[in-house]
Structure 1
Amino acid sequence: MDDDTSTMKQEEPVQTIPAPNISRIRNKQLRTEMYREMKREKRKIKIAEKKKKKAEMEALGDKAPPKQVPKTIENMRVFDETMVNPQDDEVLQDEAQDEMASYFNRETTPKILITSSDKIRNRTYKFCKELKRIIPNSDVFFRQNADLKKLIPEAVARDYTDLIVVNDDRKVPNGMIISHLPDGPTAHFKMTNVRLTTEIKHAGKLTGHMPEVILNNFNTRLGHSVGRMFAALFPHDPEFHGRRVMTFHNQRDFIFFRHHRYMFRNSKRVGLQELGPRFTLKLRSLQKGAFDSKYGEYEWVHKRHEMETSRRKFFL
């Protein structure tokens, strides 16, 4: 071997300082302090990078590239041919002739009958009472072995426009049926994540003002029908000075219900105070006509194994 080759400089590998392995520290207090220090340093670096990037974008001005929109399941949603424009002539014509047209034409005033399944537990009893508290012009009737099909004609005779049935299982409310009277439609929902007002921290006190109703993301023909059913439960003219708002927010076919009051802290800041209750609904079926579980004609039925073939496929 030549001397030149023996004297060739060999490239030395770049040595990096490994991050400290705090899991080997036995002292819990010292380990916690080091972990907090690491988190603080990471946060400082992240904030500095954001400030640097913001300064670079401001320096570019109009030449700056457009802000990137993160990919989510919602904006990558599979195209649905039933998506509608609320101002479409065909949609407006259908709405003028559907079962809830009398409400939107102000021919009827909502009057709601709230009932439940047989032998309900205390939690479901309280939930029905809270529904009566938040829905104006509503009454609660706890049926004892009364047939629901016989109850509907009596409700129609007493000018009730909608029927809400809360189902109970294992001591908790787990389902809800909303039937628009007298000609339907009837929607059956699975209900989860029920929180009563007493279980919500810092819940505000309810006033008697008529609430405003907000419907978010009911964009398909099916979702449009469901949203109109929710809207028909509440009076036509909200009292905006009361600052009460009911929100039905559809996200990935889960309908989140929230009840808030606007809080104007000063001329520039607006907050929300939750009034309760809160719950989540998942549509199981939509049936034509009033409630009839045996002979009813179904417009839409959720079939889990056939329909849930993609995480980006939604129906509402």
Structure 2
Amino acid sequence: MCVCVFRLRKEYLYRKAQEDRLRSIEEKKQRVKSALDENRLLPTEVRKEALQLQKLLEFDDDGGEGVSSHIDDEYKWAGVEDPKILVTTSRDPSSRLKMFAKEVKLMFPGAQRMNRGNHEVSMLVHACKANDVTDLVIVHETRGQPDGLVVCHLPFGPTAYFTLYNVVMRHDVPDIGTMSEAFPHLVFHNFTSRLGRRVCSILKYLFPVPKEDSKRVITFANKDDFISFRHHTYKKTDHKNIELTEVGPRFEMKLYMIKLGTLENESIADVEWRHHAYTRTAKKRRFLSVE
């Protein structure tokens, strides 16, 4: 069993490397094509390969969709089978973190919550894989305040790490609405960059496909790389207007790392993206959107 999983993991990493190589070639081809179409000098980085790239361009047509993505393999059952989510906490959680984990569990239809106890991460991941769990969600805290969320997609990854800010739980919101169990409609705003689309996929496939008459809406709105999470239900008051009711919880998320692996091998997994906070342009750059 271990040998089989290891082989599948190596195949996945090989496909990822092939995809990166093909994408690099595709980008160079587009630079050559745009330079020829606009009758300007070729970019210096593609001049040595220009003739070869031009020959490759002759075989391109308008029907292709670019380089196929390893994301197709990671989420190949998305939309076909409902995701199976397990929610747990860091070791020795406070009562507030336990309550937040319960609320996170209610966000995902059909999710299960497990008390962490003394279980190691490797044991959790192996148990999830044995029971066909598609995603493991772990919430963390500092001094009783929830401040971290890890989403590990199984069986091969990716694993996304988020910092949480301004967490307001359901019981802290006055006159909060009841929690609907319907499959929610999802709203994603301002995820326009390549990394933004990647994060959008990681979050989107945590939820099953909703029915058209669902009155539940979950919003992920990106502004300056802070993702605002909001959860509402709605009802029609008349033929023109609707009334929103907040369900909670509400918080802001900030992505700081994506790894191409699962939590039990995070020390050796390749880093797909990492936020470098202490560079000179860190405060000015935006990664999840193209502005």
TM-score, normalised by the number of residues in structure 1: 0.67
Work out which of the residue numbers 88, 91, 96 in structure 2 matches 1:115: 88
- Equivalent residues in 2 for 1:197-212, closer than 5 Å: 197-212=170-185
CA contact (8 A) 2:276 2:282 kept: no
- Give the aligned partner of residue 267 of structure 2: 294
Which among 115, 139, 164 is matched to residue 112 of structure 2? 139
Describe the SS at the equivalent of 1:227.
helix
The alpha carbon displacement at 1:131 in A equals 1.2
Give runs of aligned pairs for residues 7-46 of structure 1, distance below 5 A. Answer: none
Q: Structure 1 177/309 Cα, relative in aligned 2: closer, same or farther at 3 Å?
A: closer
Decide whether aligned partners of structure 1 residues 159 and 191 sit closer, same or farther in structure 2, where only a CA change above 3 A counts.
same
Give me the TM-score of the superposition, normalised by structure 2. 0.73
Shift of 1:169: 1.3
Alignment of 1:233-248 (within 5 A): 233-236=206-209, 238-248=210-220
Please list every run of 5 or more consecutive structure 1 residues that lacks an aligned counterpart in the other structure.
1-87
Residue by residue, what CA displacement relative to the aligned partner does 1:222-261 show, whole Å, maximum 9, x if unpaired? 111111111111112x133231011111111001110001
Change in CA separation of 1:202 and 1:181 when aligned onto 2, cut-off 3 Å: same
**In 2: Cα distance, 1:214 partner to 1:98 partner:** 24
From 89, 100, 124, give the equivalent of 2:65. Answer: 89
- Greater C-alpha Rg: 1
Q: What does the per-residue CA deviation read over 1:86-129, in whole Å, with 9 as the maximum and x for residues that have no partner?
A: xx9237x326634123314x2x3200000110011111100100
- Which residue number corresponds to residue 225 of structure 2? 253
Backbone CA RMSD of aligned residues: 1.8
Number of positions where the alignment pairs a residue of Structure 1 with one of Structure 2: 224
- SS of the aligned residue for 2:69 comes to helix
Deviations 1:196-242, CA, capped at 9 Å, x for gaps: 11111222112222111111111111111111111111112x13323
Distance 1:254 1:101 in 2: 28
Distance 1:275 1:308 in 2: 37
Matches within 5 A, 1:176-215: 176-215=149-188
Gaps of 5+ in 2: 1-63
Give CA deviations for 1:49-74 in whole Å, capped at 9, x if unaligned. Answer: xxxxxxxxxxxxxxxxxxxxxxxxxx
Q: Secondary structure at the match of 1:187?
A: strand
Is the deviation greater in 132-141 or in 279-288? Answer: 132-141
Equivalent residue number for residue 66 of structure 1:
none
